[in-house]
């Protein structure tokens, strides 16, 4: 839910990218129409998930609301530098990550005996898949018309770690809340390093990155880096599995302790 509720940050960042920003707030240019339509769907996702968890009675809604307030106020630093190439590449990675997250949540909810939540997450995952397809096709076109700059942009965004939208999250209490959040996600299989490696693998194949020829030296170096990334990510994941777990408290669930 928290990722979906960062809608204001999503649209703010999108409108910093040169050439695609909405100059008036209601521009009729295709990019502006797309960004607003995209934001509307993400808003619906957040509303639905927020309503579900409120009605569940399982969480401390005051702390959820505080977390959202602080997180939205903190904003996002995703290192896209007002560059539409970097921005579109960033979003093309974010959408499959969100698709996987909701898909995995749907599976876990079904296994846990919560069919309504499973259906909710499955429906949202389907929307995210459509968003993924759109951004994937945009990057395909960029690779067709400007392969060198696009290859470099892909490598740069991977080096910048494709930070999640709520990477500056906090609840006013835990300063390292995002680290704890991602650790729980990794342990439960909601979104893992393995998933990220699979996404990079998918794009290497889908965008035919290994097959691009006649690149500049810088773009060729970027190509080599990208194609090695899945291997390096899986190596890091195997190393992380050997680390010991510890207990941390989450304010969202009334300060109950969770293994991370």
Predicted TM-score (pTM) above 0.75: yes
**Looking at the DSSP assignment, which residues form a beta bridge with residue 257?**
249
105 in Cβ contact with 121 (< 8 Å): yes
Tens-place pLDDT, residues 78-136? 999 899 999 999 999 999 999 999 999 999 999 999 999 999 999 999 999 999 999 99
Q: Answer yes or no: is 102 a known binding residue.
A: no
Q: Does 69 score more than 80 pLDDT?
A: yes
CATH superfamily of this structure's domain 76-259:
Ribonucleotide Reductase, subunit A (1.10.620.20)
Q: Answer yes or no: is 128 a known binding residue.
A: yes
Tens-place pLDDT, residues 130-155? 999 999 999 999 999 999 999 999 99
Per-state percent for the chain, helix, strand, coil, to nearest 5: 70, 5, 30
Query: Span 146-171, mean pLDDT?
Result: 92
Q: Answer yes or no: is 77 a known binding residue.
A: no
Q: Answer yes or no: is 131 a known binding residue.
A: yes
Q: Answer yes or no: is 218 a known binding residue.
A: no
**Looking at the DSSP assignment, which residues form a beta bridge with residue 258?**
248
Cα separation, 45 vs 40, whole angstroms: 9
Q: Answer yes or no: is 41 a known binding residue.
A: no
What pLDDT is recorded for position 6? 80
What pLDDT is recorded for position 112? 95
Q: Does 10 score more than 80 pLDDT?
A: yes
- What's the distance, CA 122 to chain centroid? 17
What pLDDT is recorded for position 7? 76
What pLDDT is recorded for position 137? 97
**Which of 7-11, 45-49, 108-112 shows the lowest per-residue confidence on average (mean pLDDT)?**
7-11
Q: Does 236 score more than 90 pLDDT?
A: no
Enumerate the domain spans of the chain: 76-259
């Amino acid at each position: 839910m928290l990722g979906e509720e960062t809608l204001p940050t999503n649209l703010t960042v999108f409108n910093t990218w040169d050439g695609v920003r909405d100059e008036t707030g209601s521009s009729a240019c295709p990019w502006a129409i797309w960004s607003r339509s995209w934001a509307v769907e993400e808003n619906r996702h957040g509303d639905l998930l927020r309503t579900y968890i409120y009605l569940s009675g399982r969480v401390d809604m005051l702390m959820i609301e505080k977390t959202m307030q602080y997180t939205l106020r903190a904003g996002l630093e995703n290192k896209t530098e007002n560059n539409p190439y970097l921005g579109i590449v960033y979003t093309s990675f974010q959408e499959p990550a969100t698709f996987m997250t909701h898909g995995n949540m749907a599976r876990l909810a079904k296994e846990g005996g919560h069919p309504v939540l499973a259906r909710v997450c499955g429906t949202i995952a389907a929307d995210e898949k459509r968003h993924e397809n759109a951004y994937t096709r945009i990057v395909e076109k960029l690779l067709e018309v400007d392969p060198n700059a696009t290859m470099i942009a892909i490598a740069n965004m991977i080096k910048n770690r494709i930070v999640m939208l709520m990477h500056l999250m906090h609840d006013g209490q835990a300063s390292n809340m995002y680290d704890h959040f991602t650790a729980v996600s990794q342990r439960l299989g909601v979104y893992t390093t393995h998933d990220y490696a699979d996404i990079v693998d998918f794009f290497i194949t889908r965008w035919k990155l290994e097959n691009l020829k006649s690149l500049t030296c810088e773009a060729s170096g970027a190509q080599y880096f990208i194609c090695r990334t899945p291997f390096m990510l899986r190596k890091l994941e195997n190393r992380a599995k050997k680390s010991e777990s510890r207990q941390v408290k989450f304010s969202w669930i009334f300060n109950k302790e969770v293994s991370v």
